[in-house]
Amino acid sequence: MPKRGYAYFRNQGESWITMTAKKFRCTLQNIQWLTPNVMEVTFHTHKKLKFQGGQFLSIFVPNLVTGKITKRAYSFSSDPNSSEIQLCVKYLPGGAGSEFLKSLRPGDTFFANAPYGHFVFQENHNPNACFISTSTGVAPFRSMVQSELFQENLPKNSLFLHGARTENEIIYPGFFEGLGFQTVNAVSRPSPNYAGFHGRVSDYLKQLPNAWIWHNTDFYICGSGEMTHDVCEILTGGHGVPPKNIFHENFSLKKKAA
Ligand SMILES: Cc1cc2nc3c(=O)[nH]c(=O)nc-3n(C[C@H](O)[C@H](O)[C@H](O)COP(=O)(O)OP(=O)(O)OC[C@H]3O[C@@H](n4cnc5c(N)ncnc54)[C@H](O)[C@@H]3O)c2cc1C
């Protein structure tokens, strides 16, 4: 059974081997702003880092005044086979991880432990796949769908459902369409002329018909705890999706309504 701190890798397609997370020295290549508040952080590691699409790393974030280290988790957003590693990070003003990453310049080094997590593509499961994310929750999906594991086990039908507040906050527009996914960008505060879906990802799921492929689809959900909770309730309650077909990664704990 999976244990915390371990990552599981396929060994020549037959059995699983276990790998412990290790510490890596990383050198920043560049930071590119994908949207007004999301940065793509590109770097390389000094020794080979092996990870699976959907996994994450834990960055050592130093406090510049006290020197105290805190850690922040970020999902890999790049092709697991590439030595150029990418993260897709929401910039929260004043946030420890946000400010640290934003302060880095090309050539600067930082440290991270990796890999972690079990939010990976499930081969030999259901024939269809639905990927649901909000904001930077798209990161693990961008990595997962470029992995060999996914490319060698392509789902029959793939829906990518992504939520953003405004059109210009849609991350990686066109990327999933380019891979042949049916794509829906649900925008909760769209401009009046936005031609896509107006509303949240949960609104989109609620209005899908009962005859949709609910029972032979795997659902992968990533974003805030609140979103993953709401989407899980809609899938299991409203649409009768068995919980074993739902896989999720929470970027933050569910915030309870006051
Ligand atoms: C497994 C895992 C994978 C993750 N992957 C990613 C990823 O790929 N990309 C990414 O951007 N984040 C990711 N996160 C979230 C990330 O680890 C940080 O929690 C987040 O980026 C905030 O860190 P910070 O240090 O910048 O802000 P903090 O110093 O932690 O917080 C600053 C302030 O912002 C508030 N805040 C924290 N998070 C949010 C939020 N989501 N929305 C609004 N306000 C918030 C806090 O309450 C606080 O007031 C992941 C988390 C987990 C557990």
DSSP string of 240-251, one letter each residue: ---GGGEEEEEE
User: Which ligand 1 atom sits closest to the C-alpha of 97?
Assistant: 25
Check if the beta carbon of residue 186 is closer than 8 Å to that of residue 161: yes
Element of type H or E holding 117: none
What is the predicted pLDDT for the residue at 138?
Answer: 98
**CA distance from start to end of the chain:** 37
The pLDDT, as a whole number, for residue 252 is 86
Q: What is the pLDDT of residue 2?
A: 42
- Most ligand 1 atoms within 8 A of CB, residue of 72, 162, 224 to mutate: 72
pLDDT the model gives residue 67: 84
What is the C-alpha to C-alpha distance for residues 136 and 151, in angstroms, rounded to an integer? 22
pLDDT for 124 equals: 84
247 neighbors 119 (Cβ within 8 angstroms): yes
Q: Which atom in ligand 1 lies closest to the alpha carbon of residue 87? A: 8
> In this predicted structure, what is the pLDDT of residue 16?
40
> How high is the pLDDT of residue 43?
98
Q: Find all residues with CB under 8 Å of 222, minimum gap 6, and list them.
A: 75, 119, 132, 133, 137, 138, 139, 140, 141, 228, 248, 249, 251
Residues of the chain with pLDDT under 70: 1-19, 253-258
- Distance of CA 252 from the midpoint of ligand 1 (Å): 7
pLDDT of residue 258: 39
pLDDT of residue 81: 95
Tell me the β-bridge partners of 86.
42
pLDDT at 14: 31
Residue 11, Cβ neighbours under 10 Å: how many? 9
Residue among 86, 61, 83 at smallest CA distance from 72: 61
Ligand 1 mean position to 154 CA, how many Å? 31
Residue-wise pLDDT for 136-172, tens only, equals 999 999 999 999 999 999 999 999 999 999 999 999 9
* Ligand 1 residue neighbourhood (C-beta within 6 Å): 56, 72-75, 87-90, 92, 94-98, 136, 139, 224, 249, 251-252
In tens, the pLDDT along 108-118 reads 999 999 999 99
